[in-house]
Every structure is written in C-alpha cells, then in structure tokens.
Chains A and B, each alone.
Chain A
Amino acid sequence: KNQVEQSPQSLIILEGKNCTLQCNYTVSPFSNLRWYKQDTGRGPVSLTIMTFSENTKSNGRYTATLDADTKQSSLHITASQLSDSASYICVVSLYGGSQGNLIFGKGTKLSVKP
C-alpha cells in the first residue's frame, strides 16, 4: 500500500533554533517528493520538489534531503523564525497511479516560540 508517514506529529522549538522533520514513504513507482508549508487557514505552498536523482535541495532556510534507497526524506529548518510556525506536509508523486498520482502525509505541526 502506498503510504507517507511523517514524524514527529508536532514539534515546539524556540526562535532561532534549528529543527528537522522526517518523512518515510512506501510509494512505488516513485516519481518525486515534495514538501509543502501550510499556514493556519491557508492552502499549502510548495517549498521543494526532488526527483529520484536529487539528494538535497534548498529554498532559503529550508533544506530537504532525499534518500531513495531507504525511502526517507527530511526537511531541515535553519535559524527558525516565528513565521515558520505552520504544518509541513510531505507528498510523494508516483507514476501511473490514481489520485492524480499524489500521496499526502498527515503533516508535522511546528510551533516556533519567542
């Protein structure tokens, strides 16, 4: 069964600290992996997209990694800011599947405190 599991479910950190969010997937055949940020009351916004051959991709203070062998991805946030408080969603795209080919994780809710 195609699944995307994220951990932790929620996380609280102090402003200025770094954090890492995890995503494990059992999706085949794999096409790409995406990380989205969803602010409260808003739609998700794309942060990164990585294909099979990409190990890391950065978007400002956000760095995503992908290990296609172990089927794991992480999203590292550097020098966190209050505006980073949001849910972070891992999404895996597959070839030839239904649901428009996208499998969503349930997200990690990050709270950055001053």
Chain B
Amino acid sequence: GAGVSQSPSNKVTEKGKDVELRCDPISGHTALYWYRQSLGQGLEFLIYFQGNSAPDKSGLPSDRFSAERTGGSVSTLTIQRTQQEDSAVYLCASSLVVRGGGPQHFGDGTRLSIL
C-alpha cells in the first residue's frame, strides 16, 4: 500500500489477556517506530527499529511489552497480561532513515481498550 498500515484499527479485550498489534510500514523504509498516545497527551516513544534491530528499547513501559520486526518490514507490538492503564492509541511510523532526513509517516493507529 501507499501508506503505513496498522491492524486492528480497534481492539477491546479483557484485563489479563495478551494482545498483538501489527504495523506494515511503507516499502523500503528502514526505520520503524512505535508510540503510545493516551487521551489528551502527547506521543510517548516506545521503541524504534533500524532494519530488524532495536537499538533503543528504553521507552517500553514494562517487561509486559515487547516488539519485533522481521524481514525489515512488518513489526508486531505485543502486550502481555494487559492492564487497564494500557488503554491508549498505539501509533506506528516509518521513515527512510533514522537520523535527520525526511519525515515520519504515521499509520492511523490501533485504539486499544482494556476492560
């Protein structure tokens, strides 16, 4: 596709369940980012990938959060044993390079609601 695609667009699940969020970046983009946006708040950095490696995992809130990227393309963000405070919009972005250069291209996010 032409843009960054995220799925599902909405996810409602019960507390304690695991969830997996998917991001398909723009073809050829080597950098991929995950952010979390809570209601009325700015974007909170979670993790970024350069190719398949994640040089910076400092933003992951806890060890319940993990992410991987395979083939330099699709990435998945997994949240284990979800808690109500995990409810937020999870945004994925991709760019050609990490440093400087062009803009990030964002997907429309996955709206996660934990009951």
A-side residues, CB < 8 A to B, are 31-32, 34, 41-46, 49, 89, 93, 95, 98-102, 104-107
- Chain B 9-46, CB within 8 Å of chain A: the 1/0 string? 00000000000000000000001010000000111010
B residues 46-67 touching A (CB-CB < 8 Å): 48, 56, 58-59
- Chain B residues touching A, majority SS: loop
CB of A99 within 8 A of CB of B104, answer no
CB of A43 within 8 A of CB of B42, answer no
Residue with the highest number of chain A CB atoms closer than 10 Å, among B42, B56, B58, B105: B42
How distant is B28 from chain A, measured CB to nearest CB, in Å? Answer: 17
**In the complex, which residues of chain B have a beta carbon less than 8 angstroms from the beta carbon of A106?**
41-42
Q: Which 8 interchain pairs have the tightest Cβ spacing? A: A43-B106, A46-B103, A106-B42, A100-B48, A99-B45, A104-B43, A98-B56, A43-B108
